[in-house]
Structure formats: C-alpha cells, structure tokens
Structure 1
Amino acid sequence: MRTFKFFLLSCFFITTISKAQTKDISLEDIWSGSFRTERMDALHSMKNGQQYSVLNFDRATRTTTIDVYDYKTLNKVETIVNSANIEAIPYFTDYTFSDDESKIILATDVESIFRRSTLGKFYVYDTKDNSVKLIAEDKIQEPTFSPDATKVAYGLNNNLYVTDLISGETKQITFDGIKNKIINGITDWVYEEEFGFVRAFQWNANSDRIAFIRFDETNVPEFSMDVYGKGLYQTQQVFKYPKAGEKNAIVSLHLYDLKTNKTSEVDLDKDYNDFYIPRIKWTNDSDVLSAQYMNRHQNELDLWMINAKKGSANLVLAEKDNAYIDVTDNLTFLKDDSFIWTSEKDGYNHIYHYDKDGELINQITKGNWEVTNYYGFDQKAGKIYYQSVENGSINRDVYAIDLDGRNKTRLTKSRGTNNASFSADFTYYINTFSSATTPPEYTLNDAKSGNLVKSIKDNDALSKKILDYKTSKKEFSTIEINGNNLNMWMIKPADFDASKKYPLFMYQYSGPGSQQVANRWNSANDYWYQHLAQQGYIVVCIDGRGTGFKGAAFKKVTQNELGKYEVEDQIEAARQLGKRPYIDESRIGIWGWSYGGFMSSNALFKGNDVFKMAIAVAPVTSWRFYDTIYTERYMATPQENPSGYDENSPINHVDKLKGDFLLIHGSGDDNVHLQNTMRMVDALIQADKQFEWMVYPDNNHGIYGGNTRLHLYKKMTNFINKTLGDKIEKQDVKEEQKAEIKG
C-alpha cells in the first residue's frame, strides 16, 4: 500500500512540478511551525495486548481524557478518565497506570527542574470507584506505584516517602536529605544528564522492599548561574556540578524493608573506590536485586545479584573495555531469571543471553553491524524484537529472532528509518517510518510477519504542501577521508548549475556515538538548509570518525583525544570538497551546536587555511569546564590526561583565528555553562582577535521560547550571508551580463 501511495504522490509531483515549487522557504515559515509533522501521541499498551490508551487534550474545553483504542480496528473503545468530571483537576498532562491498571497517577501543575526532572502535584485515580486522591500537598518527584497498587513511593525535599493508598497513611523512610548535600532516591544533576534517569528507587515484585541510591554530594563543587528575570534584582541558581577531575557525589545502595521499617546498606565483596551505580533493577525473584557498578573511568562494568533476604551478593558479569562501556536499559529478566544483555565486546553492539549466574548461553545476534534498539522478549513465542542497521548504517529496520539466534526475520519493508512500539503481548507493533523523501507514517503491523494491518496516520498533506516550495534533494553518498568511507549528505540549490561555483556551508555534531547523516525526515534545521540552498549555498553534513553505528573501533578511535580526529576529518573533507569544480574553496563555512560548536570552533582555528567562517552555538570551549561522567568517559581525568584536554580544546587555539567567527550561548545553560563562552571571549580579546557574539538571557542549552529561535536563526543567516554570500550576487550579475552579451 505504501508503494502505491508513493507512486501516486510521485505522479502528482511530476505533473505539477512545472507550476509548483515557486515559493521560497522563509525563516518565519520554519519557526512558526508551517512544516510541523502530524505525530502519534505517546501511547500505553494495555496489559491485554489488544488495546492501547492515549492522552488527549481538548483545547476548546481545556480538559484531558485518557482514551482506550482497539489495536486492530483503531476505534475508540472507552474513555477511562475525563478531567471534566473531576472537580479537583481541570486537566492533567501525563498519566501512569499501576501494573494491574486498576489505578492511575495523574500529573498536574508540573514544572521542570533540569532536562528530565520535574516537580508536580499528583493524584491517584481509582478506575473501580472513580475516586481521586491527592498524593501529597507539596510538589513531589517521581511518584511510583508498588506492583500490587496499594502504595505510592515518591521523592520530596531529597527524602523518600511511601503513601499507603488503603489507610491513607504516609510514612517518611529517609530523614537525612538536605538540598545540595544529601539526596535519597532521586539522581543528582550529573546522573540525570549523563546516565539518563531521575528515579533512583525501585519496588520489588512483592511490594515489600524498596531499593534506592543515596547521593552524598556534600563535597561536590557548586556552580551558580545568574537568573535575570523581570525583576529589579537578578536571582541565582546554585547547584552541585562536578567538572572533569573534581569530586563526584559519594553513592551508596540501600534496601528499605516495609515490614520492619528498617533500612540497610548494601555491602559488596569488592573494594570499589570512586564509582558509579548507573542502574538498579529487581529480578523476578522479589528477594534479588540486580545492580550495575561502574568504575570512574567507565571501562569496567559489574553486574551484581544482591539477595536482600540472605544479605549476600554475587558478581555475575564483569565487562571490560579498552575505552568505555555504554550503559543501557536493555537488561531483561526471563521467567527463569536468565537474562538478556547487550554488549560491544565482539566489536559491534549485539544481544546476548546469560543464565542467572552469568554463564553465557549464546550470542543471539552476530555480524558487522549494530543493534540500535532492543524492544523486548516475547516469552510465549520465544522471540526477541530489535532494531538494527543491517540494511546500511544510515537506515533502521525492525527484526525478530528466536532466543537461540535462529529464524531471523526482517519485519519492516521500506528503506529508511523504522521504529516500533509493541503491544504488551507482542501481537502487534505500531511502526513509525520516515525517510529523506517521506514524512513520518504510522502503521499497525502484525508482529509475526511484519505485514501491514492498517494505516494509522500519515503526513500526505505536508508532502503536498512542500511541493509548493523550492526544495532540493538530500543526496546521500560517502566520501573517503583519512582512510575511511564517511557517510555524507549534500543539498544543492534547486537550480544548481555545475558550471558555477557555490559557497559551501558544513554542518556536523560529531559527538561520540552520534549520527547526523541518517535516512529520515526533515528536522527544522533541514528546512533551514533548504532556505540556505535557495540563496545559493551548497550545504553538506559528514559523520566523521568517532560517530556511531559503524562498529566500536570506528566510534572509539577518539578515546583520550576528543576533537583531534573528528576535526581532522572535517578539515580534510572541506579541503576535498573545495576541489570540486562547482564549489568555491575560498568560501567554506562550518557550524554546530554543543559538541558541534566545540567542533566548528576547532575547525575554524585549526583549519584556518580552509574555513572562512564558523558559527558555534553553546560550545564546550575546554573539556576542563564540562562534567565528570561525560568527559571522563572519553578523556579520563585532566590530571591523568592534561595534553588530551588542552591540545584539542578551542580555547587554546584562538591565536590561529583568521576567518569570521560568531559565538552564541544562553546565559541559563545548566549543561554547557556560559563560562565556556565567557572564557573563550576573554581568550579572543587577549589574542587581539575580532569576532561576533550573542548571549540569550536566561535561555538554557536549547535556546528557545517565544521569538528566540527565529531571532537566533536570523542572526546566523545574516552572518552567513555577510561572510560567505558576498560573491553570490556578483556571480549572478556576471551571469546576467553574459546572457545580455550573447543576446
């Protein structure tokens, strides 16, 4: 069906191309949401596997509902909750079911703390009697049902509490929590940002124990940011932020027994010094907790099985790597407590099956390709479902495979990016597909065969709308740089003429394991690149060494020298592209955000004979300014590796600046601090280098809100036109003059 639809759209495109594609893409179009895609709301697969629930918001009445739909028919079955019927809750913004789906936590009045953490007022809705109970008068964090749905545990003021939903009694289970000193059960800033989780407590299967991580950040240095706001005086945000080489929070693992009201600290038979606990998870045995411990260098990861009843612990798996080990959420326990694990130990990320004592049963997936997502295990069918790049590193497909590694089946059919969301019983999956030429399509598929059951939602209206605009094809290819075939895409002006010379504008991110050259639908930046192509620029993106999905050796080559090989690749790529007859080698620019800003700064300074200009947004300017977990994973500490830190940090190469440089940052960036830009500015001034810069007050790492994004992209576009576009108009004039002479 998709092929036929694509054929029809292609015919429509061919027959209308002569009168279509007349409109230019404006920055206002991009940032007003003109090209926004229709998306599927986040859904919850009901435990019966045949239905799913979705949060719906009625803008007219400003009420929220949780509606249940049938997978097979996609018809609405019922409304479980409607805020219009709840006097205490005008509307809610998120919901979480208990395991038996008898109760639902409803989130209201939610406010962000950092990237993932929030505070809010939460209610428990009982689906049997439609009653609603406020969990706590205060704003709380991470409320979580016990598996038997009789209790809710949550964080408040750095302590943990448990509310009994039957008696209504609330019990405080930790008492030493103090802001910027002790945190119980909620992660500190650096764990949240770099290990990607906030809730550091877990219920066991019997609902009678809670495991939690305690963070003692007393000796972690503090960072402060001025918040300018609208008042007469600014305020300050002060939080613990361990920069590379500085002290981390001291972590410890604890078990709280609800029957005895006692807490015990887990003591392991191994002398850990300066370590992390990036994951905890109870096994199917309610007495046994799994815990992952990692050394500070993050090249050793231990998986422990801790028996809370016996007070014993068993080290079942110990992984080591010459560079680093990625932490994932893929650990899955089967009924016999054997477990699924993913690892790069054979050079590529693959799926492994171990028995409960850590003995390898078998390696399930194999090959010179990467597993990019693990979806889960169907116990009944004995099938594992995963996503991989077997069909090319810029593509993603969904596969099924038996637990013994046999009978592998490719479930997705279309070449591009496929991502699956499976029903609870693995009968169906909702596939999200897109490519560089096809906006997101959502389809219901049979999990056994991958066959289409029903189309759910597409973006055909957007496809037709784009036909009114001048757009260029995103051309995928590879380019050989420094002995490697690197993935590349290129966007040329729609009226490209190979006899002309065009300025080249390069984009990259380049961070470890990242990918920007991917066969997927446009982001907002892609429309910006189309906007630039309309003005006569060729735009290119290249994923150099250190990026992901081409094996561990390719990804980890940058170890201990972030910014060396990645920068060399971008400089050499620009040099090679500049030799192409249609590219003006005197007008090559580069830009990036965050790690990409670190890269673009380095490229301009170190490649001053190649790049004419660069834009760096929210850049790390010295790895000495960034956090422990991320930085030391790739660089060790600055005390151990001072040359790696200093030789590749752009702040130490400002004296090489020859071209035009625009530096941009948000003053409220809690991630890459404004300190990075301020220190860079001072270094540039002391080196007597002219440059331009812009600070967005109180904006965080994303620099957005209100008119901010539009202003930012106008600023960058004007800078590009001023520094690279000076010859575009002159060339066009010359072409017109030639035409007149010939005429």
Structure 2
Amino acid sequence: MKFRSFGLALLLTTASPALIPQIAPQAVAQQKQAITLEDIWSKPTFRARSVPGFNWMRDGRYYSALSEGNLVQSDVTTGKPVSTLVSAQDLRVVGSNEPLAVDGYSFNADEQKILFWTAEEPIYRRSSKANYFVFDRATKKLAPLSAGGKQSYATFSPDGKRVAFARDNNLFVVDLATMQEKAVTTDGVVNKIINGSADWVYEEEFSFAQGFFWSPDSRQVAFYTFDESQVPEYNMQEWGALYPKDYRYKYPKAGEKNSVVSVSVHDVAAGRTTKMDVGPEADQYIPRVLWTKTPNLLSIQRMNRLQNKLELLHADAATGKTQVVLTDTDPAYVDVADDLRYLNDGKQFIFSSEKDGYRHLYLYDMKGKLARQLTKGNWEIGAIEGLDEKNGQVYFTSTEASPLQRHLYRVSLKGKGKSRLGETGAGTDVVNISPDTRYYLNYHSAAGEPTTVSLRNGQDGKLVKVLEDNAALRQTLSQYNMGKVEFFDFKTSEGTTLNGWMIKPANFDPSKKYPVLMHVYGGPGSQTVLDNTGGGVALTNYLWHQMLAQNGYIVVSVDGRGTGARGAKFKKSTYANLGKLETIDQGEGAKYLGTLPYVDKSRIGIWGWSFGGYMTALAMTKEADLFKAGISVAPVTNWRYYDTVYTERFLKTPQENPGGYDDNSPVQFAEQLKGKYLLVHGTGDDNVHFQNSVAWTDALVKANKDYQTLYYPNRNHGISGGNTRLHLYRQMTDFILKNL
C-alpha cells in the first residue's frame, strides 16, 4: 500500500449492481429526494460522465479511442470522429469469426503498428498479464505476439521493429519482421529471480510494475533484475475448495531482507548484456531508471535503505561505468518523484526537490551543476505535466493558490514568466497535455460540483470547447437533498492550524445538537481536505457522506500534521513516530467540534480505511474519551507487519527505532478501548495483511473488550467484487445508525 489520499478514493469504487434495503432518512425537505445506498452502488443515478478512452495522437490535433470494437480517430477541437483507424472486423484471429475483445492498445512511434491486448488478468495493484497481438495498419495483418503464454507490459521499440515483454520472470524481445522471439534472460524463477518486472514492494511503494526500458535509438533494452531469494515469504489461505490453497509470495516486512536489485543493458543486435555499476552496497533501492537523450547514457536513481539520500547516476550503457551527478538529502526522508526530464539538446535536465522546504523545480547541466531554480515560494509543485522545449516552457500543477487546490502553471526554463493557465476558478484541475503542448484537457472539479472536462489552448489556457459538463448529473443532484461542503480551519492547543471540511444536513438547524462522524486517512503526504468532488470514486465517496448527512449526521474530515501540500516541515513532523501527532490532531479536531453549539460532543465517531483504519484504532484507544464509535477498515495495527519501503521511510528500521514501532501500535492500547468499535478486513489482503487484524482482535480479547468484526474471504485490500462493497457499506451504515 502507498498510504496516501489515493488509498481511500480507490476503496470507494462503485460496486457491481445489487439490491439492498433503503435507509430511512430523517425529515428532509419535501421537494427533495433522499439518497439511498441503492442509488450510490446499484443504479446509475449519480453516474458521472467523462471523456472515455482519450489517447493523444502524436500531432496533438487528434486523439484515438475504442468505440464498439473499432479504433477511431477524432478531432480534438470538435470531439467528432474523422476516421476509423482499425475496424473491429480487422481484429479477427485466423480461424475465428469473432473480433478480439480488446482490453487496451498502444501505438508504435509512427502510429503505423498497434499492439492490442485481450484477456487481461490483474496480478497486484499495477501488474497484469494478457494476450498481445500486433496489428500492421498497412497490411491489416493481425498476429499474436507470442505463443508461449500470456505476456506482461509488451512495448514497441521506438523504431517499431521490435517488441519487448516480460513473462514468467524473464525478459523477451520479438523481431516483428520475422516474428522470431528471443529470450534476453533465462534465469527467472518464481519467488527467486525476477527480470523485467518489479517485485511486490517496488510495485506497491515505488509505483511501477514494468521493469524494462527501450533506448531512444531502439538498439538496447535496460532492465531490472530482482534477486528476492533471501526475502521472507508470506502465505495466505485461498478459501473455497475442500482443502484451502496456500498462496505464497515474497513480502519484505520492516527490518527484514529486501531483494538485491541490479540494472543491466542488453544490446539487441550484438546479443550482449552489460551490468551497470550501482555500487557495492546491496542493501539499497533503485527506484527509477530512465534513458537520457544522449546516446548510450542511462539515468539511474539510487537510494540508501533509510531513504534519506537519493543519488542520480549516469551510466555508460556500453561499459556499465557510472558517475554520481546529483545528490539530494534530507534529515528525514527523500520522496521519489517523476519530475526528472532530460532536454533534447542533451545538455540539461530538470529535477524536483524539497531542499528549500517545498517541492520545487531546478535546472541542472549534465554534470549536475545547478543552472537555476525554476520555481520558488511557500507552495509546492504537484507534478510536471508537459515540456515545450521549442519555446522553452515547462508546465506543472501546483498548490500556489491554496493547499486545498491544484491548478496548471507554466514557467520558462529561464525561471521567468510564471503564470497560471486557464480561468477555471477555485477547485482542482487535473490536466492531460498533448505531446506538443498545443492543447490540453482540463478536468475541473470543486467541492460539491461534478467534473467539467474542457479542451484548452496550451499557449494561453483559453477555452476551446467544453467536452463534458455533466449537466445531467448536475440536474440529478439538484433533485436530491444535498448539504453544502464547508471548509474551515482551527488552531490546536499546540498552536498548529489545521484544515478541514464539513457537510451538514441540508435541513440543518443551528439550534439543534448533531452527532458527528469524522473521516480520516492521515498518512504522510496525503490529503482528504481538498476542494474537489470529481467523478467516479471521488463522487461515490462524497455521496455516501451526503447520505449520512441526510440521516442527521454532520460529516467532517480534518488533515492533521504529516499530511501534504503544506511543505516539508509540516509533512515530515511525524517522522520516526508515526501515529503520535496524527492521533493528537484528530483528537484536537474532535475537541474543536465539541465546542460548536450545534455539535453533540458525546456523539462523535470516526472511521477510516488503511492508514485511516490505523488512525481510527488509535483514536478509539488513545483518545477514547472523545469518540463514541469507530470503524477501522483494513488497518495496520503493528508497523512491524508492514513492508520495508513504506514503513522504514517514515520510521527507520525497527532495529534502529523500536519505540517508533511499538509506542503507537493500537495493540499496545487495547485496554483503553471504550466506545463501540467495528473492525473490517479481507482475508486475501496482499498489502495490509489480515495478520494485522488477527493480532488486534487477540489483544482486544485479552483486554476483555467488546467489538464487532467483519471479515471478507479472499478479498484484497479494496474489499470488492460482486456484492461485497454493497454488503460492506450496508453493515457500516447500520453500525453508524445504531451506535452513533
């Protein structure tokens, strides 16, 4: 798990249709309807529309998308189809009358060949395997990429002559002229050696699954090798058969051994593989590998195990020799970002760092000498979104307007002329810029408002066309009894200002006293207090809280210390002592709410998922006098049970910092539980293991404490599939109605 705001959003995905009992709301305005659980999860009542399947084509004027099995090209300025690139009838395998059921596709560089994939199988959060097919637009020939079993991450070489893919822990290259397949590696073994793919912890915490990369000249493939033979195995029972199946995989818990990671470069024509020199230390991380724009020069990022030192290495792909060109350090930890950009002239690169207290952009020459700082101020960049080298401009999102908002900005590579693009108002902008930066899609949302998707000019941000305004959804929402989202802040007893949002019942009466349900996530760098609603999972989250408000509850979220968008000092204040300050701040939030004349301070509850489940368990014990009820979903209850990369980044190793692991483990405070408590977990959670809830319930039993529990057989960290999500939220809703 990457504990962050993403975690909760993912976990509130719309489930499969099913019928569930309607929850009877308290008195509401007669002319408005009441939201039901069925509206949220079973019906398309609140379905948000977007611009589906949007993929920029290389000229920036057109985009492609699948439509009824056809691959269609559309004009970005009108949104109207202009041609059919590939007909569904052309996607029939020899011997079959049925076209492929396509799950996805990708073009080669000149867009004349296309990889289509079908029968995709997810593995973990980002990994999958599928059957890939190569389609030649000139000949209309469709051919399977390989007959040796499903492939992962099939990728064209830049010249379109070859495709590389991973399978069974090995890396392969196919020559498209002959369709001859060559194994680049042959030593891959499950739970021992992985080539060309990430191991579990890299996939989860460094956010990538594909572990190979074509060189710009198509002559070489750089790839990862993970030797995980010394990593301890974790096993889970898969229930259903007469004898449950034992599923085993490598999972490095905090303080245990990691994979030994190496990087190699394979020269395809010569058939020669050269190992890059990543240093003598085996107990380290290689979180990023990237080809520069200079021929034969590979970029490698290296981190020490404590993750407080990141080094940028440049490697000679022919010899494997490396040189450290840049070092970024921090007393706490260095976050890995994806803002490294090498310029086409081969002379400079852009890099982001928090070294001045906020994440900003810097320009360096290829030897690591600083040319200039491109952005500066008491705000943070979110990410680089585009690069216009012709005009010397870099596009990025940032929090300059407010930590609660994100907007698109542009600055010159000289560090001058910074400006915001697009007059979108308050709220949050998510952007998708064309490769040539001529246009960009802007997904704008504000609290309580569905997403508006617009096409905008990349040079001045002016509106070209509104592609989706969700007018139908806005009309639907207007017919329901919705409470307004109100943002607030308050100062704690320690003098820290915290941000929050609040949803009151639509028929709110300030003379009455209302129960409050607090929603918490709280992990390092995360945010739940954001000025957005969005569509899909974010909208579902919003609607469930609105439904609770219609049942007479005020719903609140407070971002405590350790959360993001307020600078490194605020975010890293929880370093080496996760859970302490975060729990204090949720307690401070409850105390503040208790001072409001319309809040019944004897009826404050709290709930959260993942890191939020951990926070809920601590709040219900260490701050037990403040909370009447709580729900923990898939919580960590002992950081010794969680993975190396995430946990040690924020706590060091348990050998170095045992107190940081034990002093804020809910297991240590079971005797302090007072309120009504519901614990939920999936037995097939490969991320936050069910072991956490087993240890926690054991502690509660030993402390003779009453609690309720729900376990979901074989369900992963998202606890979904079939009727699962509907069942879960019915149980949680009933628990809140009965106990708060």
What TM bracket, shorter-length normalisation? over 0.9
Tell me the equivalent position of 2:18: none
Tell me the equivalent position of 1:67: 72
- Tell whether 2:543 aligns with 1:527: yes
Does the 8 Å contact 1:21/1:467 carry over to 2?
no
Q: 1:103 aligns with which of 99, 110, 113?
A: 113
SS at match of 1:93: strand
Unaligned runs of 5+ in 1: 1-17, 59-63, 725-743
Tell me the equivalent position of 1:240: 250
SS at match of 2:626: coil
Q: Which has the larger radius of gyration?
A: 1
Residues in 2 aligned to 1:353 and 1:384: alpha-carbon distance in whole angstroms = 11
Unaligned runs of 5+ in 2: 1-27, 94-98
Tell me the equivalent position of 1:187: 198
Q: After superposition, what is the alpha-carbon deviation per residue over 1:44-88, rounded to whole angstroms, capped at 9, x for unaligned?
A: 2111121111233x3xxxxx2221111223221111123333222
Residues in 1 aligned to 2:511 and 2:488: alpha-carbon distance in whole angstroms = 21
Residues in 1 aligned to 2:371 and 2:629: alpha-carbon distance in whole angstroms = 55
Q: After superposition, what is the alpha-carbon deviation per residue over 1:192-214, rounded to whole angstroms, capped at 9, x for unaligned?
A: 00000011111111211111111
Bigger Cα displacement from structure 2, 592-601 vs 252-261: 252-261
Does the 8 Å contact 1:336/1:356 carry over to 2?
no
Does the 8 Å contact 1:244/1:632 carry over to 2?
yes
Does the 8 Å contact 1:184/1:214 carry over to 2?
yes
Tell me the equivalent position of 2:16: none
Q: CA deviation at 1:233?
A: 2.9
Residues in 2 aligned to 1:70 and 1:447: alpha-carbon distance in whole angstroms = 16
Q: After superposition, what is the alpha-carbon deviation per residue over 1:243-299, rounded to whole angstroms, capped at 9, x for unaligned?
A: 00000011111111112212121124x442410111101111221000001111111
Query: What amino acid maps onto 2:83 in structure 1?
Result: E
- Tell whether 2:529 aligns with 1:513: no
**Alignment identity in percent?**
47
Does the 8 Å contact 2:515/2:554 carry over to 1?
yes
Tell me the equivalent position of 2:591: 575
Tell me the equivalent position of 1:735: none
Does the 8 Å contact 1:205/1:284 carry over to 2?
yes
Bigger Cα displacement from structure 2, 688-697 vs 578-587: 578-587
Residues in 1 aligned to 2:100 and 2:458: alpha-carbon distance in whole angstroms = 39
Tell me the equivalent position of 1:77: 82
Q: 1:299 aligns with which of 302, 308, 313?
A: 308
Change in Cα spacing, 1:78 to 1:20, as seen in structure 2 (3 Å) is farther
Tell me the equivalent position of 1:489: 501
Bigger Cα displacement from structure 2, 308-317 vs 291-300: 308-317
Tell me the equivalent position of 2:127: 117
Change in Cα spacing, 1:265 to 1:498, as seen in structure 2 (3 Å) is same
Structure 1 residues 357-368: aligned runs within 5 Å: 357-368=367-378
Tell me the equivalent position of 1:288: 297
Q: CA deviation at 1:305?
A: 0.6
Residues in 1 aligned to 2:519 and 2:694: alpha-carbon distance in whole angstroms = 24
Q: CA deviation at 1:21?
A: 4.8
Change in Cα spacing, 1:604 to 1:721, as seen in structure 2 (3 Å) is same
Structure 1 residues 403-422: aligned runs within 5 Å: 403-413=413-423, 414-422=425-433
Tell me the equivalent position of 1:738: none
Query: What amino acid maps onto 1:379 in structure 2?
Result: E
Structure 1 residues 323-472: aligned runs within 5 Å: 323-337=332-346, 338-413=348-423, 414-472=425-483
Query: What amino acid maps onto 2:658 in structure 1?
Result: P
Residues in 1 aligned to 2:334 and 2:31: alpha-carbon distance in whole angstroms = 48
Tell me the equivalent position of 2:96: none
Q: CA deviation at 1:635?
A: 0.5
Q: CA deviation at 1:92?
A: 0.5
Query: What amino acid maps onto 2:374 in structure 1?
Result: I
Tell me the equivalent position of 1:542: 558
Tell me the equivalent position of 1:685: 701
Bigger Cα displacement from structure 2, 700-709 vs 179-188: 700-709
Q: 1:43 aligns with which of 30, 54, 58?
A: 54
SS at match of 2:78: coil
- Tell whether 2:666 aligns with 1:656: no
Q: CA deviation at 1:437?
A: 3.2
Does the 8 Å contact 2:513/2:597 carry over to 1?
yes
Residues in 1 aligned to 2:31 and 2:558: alpha-carbon distance in whole angstroms = 28
Structure 1 residues 106-185: aligned runs within 5 Å: 106-137=116-147, 138-185=149-196
SS at match of 2:624: coil
Change in Cα spacing, 1:628 to 1:713, as seen in structure 2 (3 Å) is same
SS at match of 2:203: helix
- Tell whether 2:678 aligns with 1:673: no
Q: CA deviation at 1:573?
A: 1.2
Residues in 2 aligned to 1:248 and 1:242: alpha-carbon distance in whole angstroms = 6
SS at match of 2:367: coil
SS at match of 1:609: helix
Residues in 2 aligned to 1:579 and 1:76: alpha-carbon distance in whole angstroms = 58
- Tell whether 2:515 aligns with 1:499: no
Residues in 1 aligned to 2:135 and 2:496: alpha-carbon distance in whole angstroms = 57
Residues in 2 aligned to 1:358 and 1:116: alpha-carbon distance in whole angstroms = 32
Q: CA deviation at 1:310?
A: 4.7
Tell me the equivalent position of 1:601: 617
Does the 8 Å contact 1:204/1:210 carry over to 2?
yes
Residues in 2 aligned to 1:311 and 1:625: alpha-carbon distance in whole angstroms = 37
Query: What amino acid maps onto 1:422 in structure 2?
Result: I
Residues in 1 aligned to 2:317 and 2:725: alpha-carbon distance in whole angstroms = 51
Q: CA deviation at 1:705?
A: 1.6
Aligned CA RMSD, in angstroms, stands at 1.3
Tell me the equivalent position of 2:737: 721
Query: What amino acid maps onto 2:628 in structure 1?
Result: K
SS at match of 2:102: coil
Does the 8 Å contact 2:490/2:592 carry over to 1?
no
Bigger Cα displacement from structure 2, 337-346 vs 254-263: 254-263
Bigger Cα displacement from structure 2, 518-527 vs 191-200: 518-527
Residues in 2 aligned to 1:479 and 1:68: alpha-carbon distance in whole angstroms = 51
Residues in 2 aligned to 1:271 and 1:347: alpha-carbon distance in whole angstroms = 32
Q: If the length of structure 1 is used for normalisation, what is the TM-score?
A: 0.92
Tell me the equivalent position of 2:33: 23
Q: CA deviation at 1:444?
A: 0.8
Query: What amino acid maps onto 2:232 in structure 1?
Result: P
Residues in 1 aligned to 2:736 and 2:665: alpha-carbon distance in whole angstroms = 24
SS at match of 1:289: strand
Does the 8 Å contact 1:29/1:35 carry over to 2?
yes
Tell me the equivalent position of 2:577: 561
Residues in 2 aligned to 1:328 and 1:307: alpha-carbon distance in whole angstroms = 23
Residues in 2 aligned to 1:106 and 1:120: alpha-carbon distance in whole angstroms = 10
Tell me the equivalent position of 1:733: none
Query: What amino acid maps onto 1:438 in structure 2?
Result: E
Query: What amino acid maps onto 2:663 in structure 1?
Result: E
Does the 8 Å contact 2:237/2:684 carry over to 1?
yes
Query: What amino acid maps onto 2:85 in structure 1?
Result: I
Tell me the equivalent position of 1:4: none
Q: After superposition, what is the alpha-carbon deviation per residue over 1:540-573, rounded to whole angstroms, capped at 9, x for unaligned?
A: 1000000000001000000001101010000111
Query: What amino acid maps onto 2:491 in structure 1?
Result: E
Bigger Cα displacement from structure 2, 711-720 vs 46-55: 46-55
Does the 8 Å contact 2:90/2:140 carry over to 1?
no
Q: CA deviation at 1:412?
A: 2.2
SS at match of 1:183: strand
Residues in 1 aligned to 2:230 and 2:88: alpha-carbon distance in whole angstroms = 45
SS at match of 2:574: coil
Residues in 2 aligned to 1:19 and 1:644: alpha-carbon distance in whole angstroms = 50
Residues in 1 aligned to 2:641 and 2:352: alpha-carbon distance in whole angstroms = 32
